[in-house]
Amino acid sequence: MNTNKSQTYNNETLVLHADQEWAKKEKGVSPAIYYSATFSAEDSAEFAEMAGTPLHPRYYTRYGNPVHERVNKIMADLEGTETALVTGSGMGAIASTILALVSAGDHVIAQTRHYMSTAKIMDEMLPRFGVEVTVVEQSEISAFEEAIRPNTKLIMLETPANPTLVITDLEAVVKVAKKQNIIVVADNTFASPLNQRPHDVGVDVVVHSATKYLGGHHDITAGVICTSTKLAEKIWDTHTSIGSVLSPMDAWLLLRGLRTLPLRMERINSNALALAEFLEEQPEIEKVYYPGLPSHPQHELAKKQMKGFGAVIAFAIKGDYNATNRFVSALKLSTNAVSLGGVDSLVVHTAAMWEGALTEEQMKTAGIPANFVRYSVGLEHIEDLQADIIQALREL
Ligand SMILES: *Cc1c(COP(=O)(O)O)cnc(C)c1O
């Protein structure tokens, strides 16, 4: 089924035609949704083949489904990996990958800044199972090098990362890791495969929260793991036991989302860069964090490893917690909600996310100032977004 023919296509064509083999067979111009938990066999021989083949698309949907197979083909081609494995959430992809690849007695290196639930796996879960974890400052390659031990099995990366969009030099970490055959995993959610392809510089496993850009419409929760066939089969074996399965309907919605990904990313990248530049000019704004701005401390590195800089802009308002709350509440075009990378803009008062869990003092130590805003730029017209920000800044 995997002809690799589509590898000669450009991204815009690939997202529409990489799964043409399935389209030919099914005859539907729109993909069929296989809403079936289980699939029939002709005889014992076929049943044995279905039961014994990793990622079989027609055995039992927790193991695979024909709609998953189409998503997997497009995602593998987008990331330039041999294969891919779709999951029920981004965390399903990350948990399956890590739990499949490390065992008690192994050592893992992770970043000081990760998506909150990934940080929880590193800080709380892995130590419970006898896996040692060292977290390092991701902008310093020497920190990765110094953390390596004889039993280091895996390095977990994520770039750009919250809250200030710090960049990790993927190529440099891979170089350090390969001296000792350490598996490198990168969470590419904040970049998308259109803006950054970690496998091209040697990252072994690329994971995504497909809830964000890939689905792109704030409607589904999904994840994907892009890697070699060998590692995918190993991860799949754990994934089937963890059970983070994507429903056939949500896989279909993800497939639909992927068809417009290159087009959406183009607009998101240009809107976000324009908005970041605009924010930097506003006297009411203290500081803007965006890898596409020359003021970002790692702008040169970002330009080297990224084709575009994505939707997420972080900025600090000149004002306290209440002023920041007034600003966020006054915005009319960006919805006050978590998540990122969808068609419409979202905004979050970062400190409010943590208010229930941390004291003001703890937030300060964790580097979450009260005046921090995270903005995920959508597809609205840039002039409307700018005008909306101007009117909300008047509320300060
Ligand atoms: C959202 C997100 C996740 C988790 O994905 P879910 O689909 O919500 O499980 C992981 N990593 C990053 C960087 C994210 O933004």
User: Among 115, 213, 321, 375, which one carries the catalytic annotation?
Assistant: 115
pLDDT at 368: 80
115 is catalytic: yes
Residue 275's closest CA among 385, 392, 148, 133? Answer: 385
pLDDT at 22: 95
3-state secondary structure 202-268: CCCEEEEECCCCCCCCCCCCCEEEEECHHHHHHHHHHHHHHCCCCCHHHHHHHHHHHHCHHHHHHHH
Take atom 7 of ligand 1 and give the residue whose Cα is closest.
90
Q: How far is the CA of 88 from the centre of ligand 1 (A)?
A: 11
User: Relative to the CA of 222, which ligand 1 atom is closest?
Assistant: 7
Residue to mutate (ligand 1; options 89, 115, 224; most atoms within 8 A of CB): 115
- 211 pocket-lining for ligand 1 (C-beta < 6 Å): yes
200 is catalytic: no
Please say whether the beta carbons of 213 and 311 come within 8 A: yes
- 189 pocket-lining for ligand 1 (C-beta < 6 Å): yes
Q: Which residues are CB-contacts of 215 (< 8 A; sequence separation ≥ 6)?
A: 222, 253, 254, 257, 342
- 221 pocket-lining for ligand 1 (C-beta < 6 Å): yes
287 is catalytic: no
- 185 pocket-lining for ligand 1 (C-beta < 6 Å): no
Tokens found for residue 112: 């000081």
Please say whether the beta carbons of 197 and 79 come within 8 A: yes
Distance between CA atoms of residues 206 and 215, nearest Å: 17
Superfamily of segment(s) 261-393: Aspartate Aminotransferase, domain 1 (3.90.1150.10)
Cα 206 to Cα 103, 188, 265, 386: the distances in Å are 20, 6, 19, 34
pLDDT at 7: 54
pLDDT at 355: 77
Domain spans in the chain, listed from the N-terminal domain onward: 11-259, 261-393
User: Strand 83-87 to strand 285-289: parallel, antiparallel, or no bridges (unpaired)?
Assistant: unpaired
Q: How far is the CA of 218 from the centre of ligand 1 (A)?
A: 12
pLDDT by position in tens, the chain (length 396): 344 444 579 999 999 999 999 999 999 999 999 999 999 999 999 999 999 999 999 999 999 999 999 999 999 999 999 999 999 999 999 999 999 999 999 999 999 999 999 999 999 999 999 999 999 999 999 999 999 999 999 999 999 998 899 999 999 999 999 999 999 999 999 999 999 999 999 999 999 999 999 999 999 999 999 999 999 999 999 999 999 999 999 999 999 999 999 999 999 999 999 999 999 999 999 999 999 999 999 999 999 999 999 999 999 999 999 999 999 999 999 999 999 999 999 999 999 987 777 777 777 766 788 999 999 999 999 999 999 999 999 988
Listing from the earlier edge strand, what are the strands of the sheet with 335-336? 285-289, 312-317, 372-376, 346-349, 335-336
Q: pTM, whole model, 2 decimals?
A: 0.96
Please say whether the beta carbons of 272 and 379 come within 8 A: no
- 186 pocket-lining for ligand 1 (C-beta < 6 Å): no
DSSP 123: I
**CA contacts within 13 A on the Cβ side of 78:** 34
Distance between CA atoms of residues 310 and 282, nearest Å: 21
User: Relative to the CA of 189, which ligand 1 atom is closest?
Assistant: 13
At the second CATH level, the architecture of 11-259 is 3-Layer(aba) Sandwich (3.40)
Distance between CA atoms of residues 144 and 177, nearest Å: 9
237 is catalytic: no
